[in-house]
A and B are shown apart, each in its own frame.
Chain A
């Protein structure tokens, strides 16, 4: 049982490049989330999907887009990467009233 799987684990981009971070969960959870975490700081919510077919902005959505492809998959896209988007990105999923399960993160550096 893999839980929450994120790909890639590491990525280096040049400013202006685009890329998509992939996330999939096999726990049949309704809700999925994307966070970023910068050194020494807490988690900040970028976007979330409370259920299949819905997506909403979190605390720091600018520069990102998301797609809830199906119940299992929730992707995060950077259309034009900026150095300020260098961070560790975590995907998570949960069911109502239950704790959240995290993927092991994508470490993204933008030069």
Chain B
């Protein structure tokens, strides 16, 4: 079983739609959680951190369920510019200070 699992997609949605991505992680000792965005042939960039109480940044809402070891990202009012791959990322107090990246979920927003 992968440490961080995501549905690879692609999710094809029309502009203005609401879309949700889910992610599960296997290490119950994980302490930090993030969503990254990666555009084609570009470096991953931090979209938002994920906090236990849930958090929102504009059209983006992230939720964390520690009991189920589950993270979600909700995008409201999708824009064409939201088309990208979204990476679920989990970190813990490991010796390497490492983050574990999911394989990504690809989103295509169509006119």
Contacts and interface: CB of A to CB of B under 8 A. Distances in A.
A75 interface: no
A42 B96 contact: no
A74 interface: no
A48 B96 contact: yes
Contacts of B89: 99-100
Interface footprint category on A: 20 to 34
Interface footprint category on B: 20 to 34
B45 A102 contact: yes
B17 interface: no
Interface stretch (B21-29, B55-63, B65-73, B98-106): B98-106
B95 A50 contact: yes
B43 A105 contact: yes
B96 to A, nearest CB: 5
Contacts of B49: 99
Given A48-B96, A50-B96, A99 B101 contact: no
A15 B103 CA distance: 29
Contacts of B99: 94, 99-100
Contacts of A33: 98
Interface of A: 30-31, 33, 41-43, 45, 48, 50, 56, 88, 90, 94, 96-105
B97 A50 contact: yes
B96 A56 contact: yes
Contacts of A50: 95-97
A56 B89 CA distance: 21
B42 A104 contact: yes
Given A33-B98, A42-B87, 13 more contacts: A42-B103, A43-B44, A48-B96, A48-B98, A50-B95, A56-B95, A56-B96, A90-B44, A97-B31, A97-B32, A101-B46, A104-B42, A105-B42
